[in-house]
Amino acid sequence: MAVNTYIALSAGYVDGEIKEEGSTFATEFKGIKRNEQGEVERDKNGNPVMVAIKDPSWVRRISPADAAAVDAATDRTPDDINVGAMSLVEAKAYAASIGVDVTALKKQEDVVAAIKAARPPVI
């Protein structure tokens, strides 16, 4: 069995959580193996044997790169703020709000560069 990446085409339940339409997640869909009589097969320790099952109809398998793109495009955090369009005063205020010390910087371009350098890299 292998873990794959999916996008939810509609709401669904997996791994103890409800996944909303459009959300991405990684999981392996599995079910309990049954014999021809419909009885649960068990391993030597008495645990049910798990097997991979067909992907449910409410999901579509996607690549991890596609999942990252979907997550970035639908992220509602303020990471997409256009600091380059801010004035020097606005950029300094924004820098202070995210914990970047720019008090010694005098140019708007330098403040913007410091803000961008402090952001986590986009993968």
pLDDT in tens, 97-117: 888 899 899 998 898 888 888
Mean pLDDT within 75-86: 69
Same domain assignment for residues 67 and 107: no
**Does residue 74 have a pLDDT over 80?**
no
Per-residue model confidence (pLDDT) at position 79: 55
Report the helix count and the strand count for the chain, using DSSP H and E: 3, 7
Same domain assignment for residues 40 and 58: yes
* 20/67 Cα distance (integer angstroms): 14
What range does the domain containing 89 cover?
A: 78-118
pLDDT tens-digit series, residues 30-73? 999 999 999 999 999 999 999 999 999 999 999 888 887 777 76
Same domain assignment for residues 48 and 86: no
Same domain assignment for residues 94 and 112: yes
Average pLDDT, the chain: 86
